[in-house]
């Protein structure tokens, strides 16, 4: 008998998660179904109780509920606690357990892009200190990078994030202006902000004047598929990747957690690209 999975957030109408997960259920011959549920902040507590009553076997959590859901769950994994947010909930032995596949998904996408097994000798710059930055920075720190620098408009926010990452690696906070001046120092540069997202297509998070050829430049944005910042990075010889890889990986990890099945990541990626009006590869 098929099982029910879902997504809670507000709004959720734009989400491509139902398309991605239901496509994989069908391709793998599973009679499960994935449904998006639009819950306002005021509806969250009752909504989570309803998910339990419906015996939903697992669900994703998106804005604005990733933090607020934590006290409503039976357990939360340590990495999600470090990040301070839950994006995936799974059921085990009658308990609803929170995890975070955003950071892990990003890490796996980065390792695949770079064709390496670890990041132990890499110096990483993360631009931004919001929710996405926390997921990426914590997971990369836990993976044991050589050093991590967080650059943000508000230095205090960057310092707060580095205080969490210090437990796993050398972590420093800096301003955006200082980060620009030391750009050549980094092996991997990650934009976790919304700067450059449609409709503000001409904006860039940092100047690329001092970017070294061969540097990995990653942008979590995937609308547009290639930001101006990514396009100029590629022209300067950088290895680039957009946010689709992270989106697909975090979804695939949730899928595995829920079903025990391994989804076809390429098929998931192509479904997302097709929906975005991009290309299949």
Catalytic residue from among 3, 26, 52, 66:
66
- Asked if 86 and 78 touch (Cβ cutoff 8 Å), the reply is no
Alpha helices in 115-196 (DSSP H): 131-142, 155-165, 176-181
Cα(185)–Cα(80) distance, integer angstroms: 30
- Active site (annotated) includes residue 66: yes
CA distance 17 to 59: 11
Strands 95-99 and 88-92: antiparallel
Distance CA 183, CA 188 (A): 10
Question: What's the token pair of residue 147?
Answer: 């050093």
Tell me if 25 sits within 8 A of 33, measured CB to CB: yes
Look at residue 182 and give its three-state secondary structure: coil
- Residues carrying an active site annotation: 66
């Amino acid at each position: 008998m098929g099982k029910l999975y879902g997504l809670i957030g507000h709004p959720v109408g734009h989400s491509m998660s139902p398309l991605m997960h239901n496509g994989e259920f069908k391709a793998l011959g599973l009679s499960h179904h994935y449904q998006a549920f639009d819950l306002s902040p005021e509806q969250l507590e009752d909504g989570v109780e309803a998910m339990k009553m419906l015996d939903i076997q697992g669900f994703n959590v998106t804005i604005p509920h990733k933090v607020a859901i934590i006290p409503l769950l039976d357990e939360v994994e340590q990495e999600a606690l470090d990040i301070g947010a839950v994006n995936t909930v799974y059921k085990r032995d009658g308990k609803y357990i929170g995890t975070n596949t955003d950071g892990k998904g990003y890490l796996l996408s980065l390792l695949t892009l770079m064709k390496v097994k670890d990041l132990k000798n890499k110096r990483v710059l993360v631009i931004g200190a919001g929710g996405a930055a926390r997921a990426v920075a914590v997971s990369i720190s836990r993976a044991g990078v050589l050093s991590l620098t967080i650059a943000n408009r508000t230095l205090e926010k960057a310092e707060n994030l580095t205080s969490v990452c210090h437990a796993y690696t050398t972590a420093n906070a800096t301003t955006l202006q200082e980060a620009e001046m030391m750009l050549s120092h980094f092996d991997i540069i990650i934009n976790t902000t919304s700067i450059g997202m449609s409709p503000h297509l001409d904006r860039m998070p940092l100047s690329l004047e001092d970017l070294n050829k061969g540097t990995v430049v990653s942008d979590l944005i995937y609308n547009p598929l290639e930001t101006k910042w990514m396009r100029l990075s590629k022209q300067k010889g950088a290895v680039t990747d957009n946010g689709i890889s992270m989106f697909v990986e975090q979804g695939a990890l949730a899928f595995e957690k829920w079903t025990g099945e391994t989804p076809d990541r390429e098929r998931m990626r192509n479904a997302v690209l097709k929906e975005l009006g991009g290309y299949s590869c």
